[in-house]
Amino acid sequence: EAGVAQSPRYKIIEKRQSVAFWCNPISGHATLYWYQQILGQGPKLLIQFQNNGVVDDSQLPKDRFSAERLKGVDSTLKIQPAKLEDSAVYLCASSLRAANYGYTFGSGTRLTVV
Amino acid sequence: DAKTTQPTSMDCAEGRAANLPCNHSTISGNEYVYWYRQIHSQGPQYIIHGLKNNETNEMASLIITEDRKSSTLILPHATLRDTAVYYCIVRVDGGTASKLTFGTGTRLQVTL
């Protein structure tokens, strides 16, 4: 079974620039999550999709972050404009159904904002 | 969500059992205990979960006290590849609102 694919693996941008991350979940997984992990901390949930609908985006800074999951498969997370404090690893995860076990995470995108 | 308390770090000799404790004194009756781990530069990986009974799988064992206020994850024969951050999470399962909330976890260092 192929895992959760994320790209790019690394990204360095200047503050105020925009950036986008892509996630391809495991085939058939209806639930998709984006997490932000700042160095030394545990991952923090940004947004949760069930198929192509948003279930929870309460922790998403909506003035600069946006996410979409068209057709209920791939997902894109965008930051515009980026701030220095957005430097983090952005992790995508998927699960067959909305359950707390069986999450499969991708390896993440490491973003550095300079 | 019930709050969990874990030691910041632990060491374990290779080949020995690693016992990782977790306190969750405010856990409610319908909340499960989940364990995930995160190896350096990778995303978190599911290990095991349980409600009230002890659980075992190919990766680990989970021992939950009778009052459910604490639990222990046991890696029976730790190897260098088990060096990782281990997260204990308490959460209600099921439904579209199910989501994992990670704390800072326990950093386990397995040494020769």
What is A49-103 written as a DSSP string? EETTEEEE-TTS-TTTEEEE-GGGS-EEEEESS--GGG-EEEEEEEESSS-SS--
pLDDT at A46 over 90: yes
Residue A50 has pLDDT above 70, yes or no: yes
The confidence score (pLDDT) of residue B1 equals 64
Residue of chain B whose alpha carbon sits nearest to that of A106:
B43
Whole-number percent of chain A with pLDDT over 90: 80
Minimal Cβ distance to B95: which of A33, A98, A103:
A98
Residue pLDDT tens, chain B, 112 long? 668 999 999 999 999 999 999 999 999 888 899 999 999 989 999 999 999 989 999 999 999 999 999 999 999 999 999 999 999 998 877 665 567 888 899 999 999 9
Q: Which of A31, A100, A105, A110 to mutate to test the interface with B (most CBs of B within 10 A)?
A: A100
Q: Is B53 on the interface with A (CB under 8 A)?
A: no
Residue B74, helix vs strand vs coil: strand
Chain-chain contact of B89 with A100 (C-beta, under 8 angstroms): yes
Question: Closest-CA residue in chain A for B94?
Answer: A99
What pLDDT is attached to residue B97? 54
Return all residues near B63 (Cβ < 8 A) that are at least 6 apart: B54, B71, B72, B74
Which comes out higher in pLDDT, residue B31 or A34?
A34
Q: Which of A45, A99, A108 sits opposite B43 (nearest CB)?
A: A108
pLDDT, average across residues A9-16: 97
Q: Cβ–Cβ of B93/A99 closer than 8 Å?
A: yes
Residue pair B9/B109 in contact by the 8 Å Cβ criterion: yes
> Over pLDDT 90: what percentage of chain B?
78
The answer to whether B43 faces chain A, any CB pair under 8 Å, is: yes
